[in-house]
Structure 1
Amino acid sequence: MKILVVEDNPSVSSMLELFFQKEAIAGDFAADGLEGFAKYRQGDYDLLILDWMLPGMDGIALCRKIRELGDSVPIIMLTAKDSESDQVIGFEMGADDYVTKPFSPLTLMARIKAVMRRSQKAEAPKETVRTEHFAVNKETREVQKDGEPVQNLTPKEFELLLFFMQHPKQVFSREQLLEQVWGYQYYGDERTVDVHIKRLRKKIAGGEQFFHTVWGVGYKFEEYAD
């Protein structure tokens, strides 16, 4: 499980980080709403935990903005506000659950598991994979960059792009990419990967900004800010 926590209290973040490590949860942390939104757009999270009171953009505004994008990722709000009216506001903005401070990690973990169970029952298979600049429909195999269609990708170019989008910022060797994308242990010429990367860079406007060579290792996909 991969969780993004947007919380400006370092003590709370440190407590959750230690607890997540014990629970084998991959935790990502942001200290304000704007940073949290940027990380949300770059990552692929199973659940978001948002503090209500945040600098830059508060948790309620962040929750609303995420829901306006059409994302149904489960969201738990953390807050010292415990009135019924505050809880109603949180739910109306799209939160799935609400945990008041102070709280124990065990209580939060129980809420996380409950929200994930409900989400997994209700969630339809996701056909579209999105990042900051790209949207890929796995069923129709349509690709968009910044809302504009990307044409003439070969099947392997499409699969390579999709694999990179699902593993942002991770560095892969040519051997790993051949095994993961081509689907078998490849014993031929590793320059096959170089050719496909070169074609993606050429076919996608500004492709050099997204497909990065890591000298001596391989490649990674990372969307640099404009």
Structure 2
Amino acid sequence: MGKKVLIIEDEESIRGFIKINFQRNNFLVFEAASGEEGLKKVQEERPDLIILDITLPGMDGFKTCELLRNDFPNLGIIMLTARGEDMDKIMGLEYGADDYMVKPFNPLELIARANSLLRRMNHSEEKNSEQLSSGCFIIDTVSMKVYKNQQLLDLTPKEYLILKTFMENEEKAFSRDDLLNLVWNYEYFGDSKIVDVNIRRLREKIESVPSKPEYIETVWGVGYRWRKR
């Protein structure tokens, strides 16, 4: 059986449309019509991926995303936003979403983004642990766990991949487009805000003073660089 996806969308027609396309691509699909129902389904079914609408009855998508991210840090989350609502996109990323799609969307693009996210999140079944290290940071690339000073960090899948990319390329400057290609792993039909938001969240988790970063440096006019210490 394929990967599990949970669709949290209150409009039955849209939910059914998304469901059919995922089923055609060998996903095992679960549905929820509200954030509250979605949280319960995640506990019961343990999906690999969530498709989460922002506008939901009762608890909205932002709060649902926040709760999901807190309880399931390795869960992939793609949020569905209204056309032209840039603030929705930014807030979705701030609350922990890995990606977003703007309604109306091409279902083939949604499937492509879902597959790309799952590939990047893939949990290796290798028996021997492999590690990356840089200063006080250690990444176990099999368990996808990151430690700073031997303390486990609570990172989202995208934050993990950004940090891994940096640590594999110490002192190399990456443009935002470089990071989109390396981390998001597809032709991204949006803008670079998604990179900046994820970098800001990552800094908040790894830097002692996020406003004065010691590790993820801003390279003005270019992008970002991991500073070897």
Decide which structure has the larger Cα Rg and report it: 1
Mapping of residues 58-137 of structure 1, within 5 Å: 58-120=60-122, 124-125=142-143
Is this contact kept in 1: 2:8–2:32, CA < 8 A?
yes
Q: TM-score, normalised by structure 1?
A: 0.52
Is this contact kept in 1: 2:8–2:33, CA < 8 A?
yes
Mapping of residues 99-178 of structure 1, within 5 Å: 99-120=101-122, 124-125=142-143
Partner of 2:50: 48
The correspondence for 1:20, drawn from 19, 22, 25, is 22
Is this contact kept in 1: 2:4–2:47, CA < 8 A?
yes
Which one is further off, 117-126 or 97-106?
117-126
| Equivalent-residue separation in structure 2 for 1:25 and 1:101 (angstroms) | 21
Q: Deviations over 1:139-163 (max 9, x none)?
A: xxxxxxxxxxxxxxxxxxxxxxxxx
| Equivalent-residue separation in structure 1 for 2:54 and 2:83 (angstroms) | 8
Q: TM-score, normalised by structure 2?
A: 0.51
Aligned with 2:122: secondary structure? helix
| Equivalent-residue separation in structure 2 for 1:83 and 1:17 (angstroms) | 24
- Compute the RMSD of aligned alpha carbons: 2.1
Gaps of 5+ in 1: 128-226
| Equivalent-residue separation in structure 2 for 1:44 and 1:126 (angstroms) | 18
Q: Deviations over 1:25-52 (max 9, x none)?
A: 1000000111011101111111011000
Partner of 1:204: none
Gaps of 5+ in 2: 124-138, 146-229
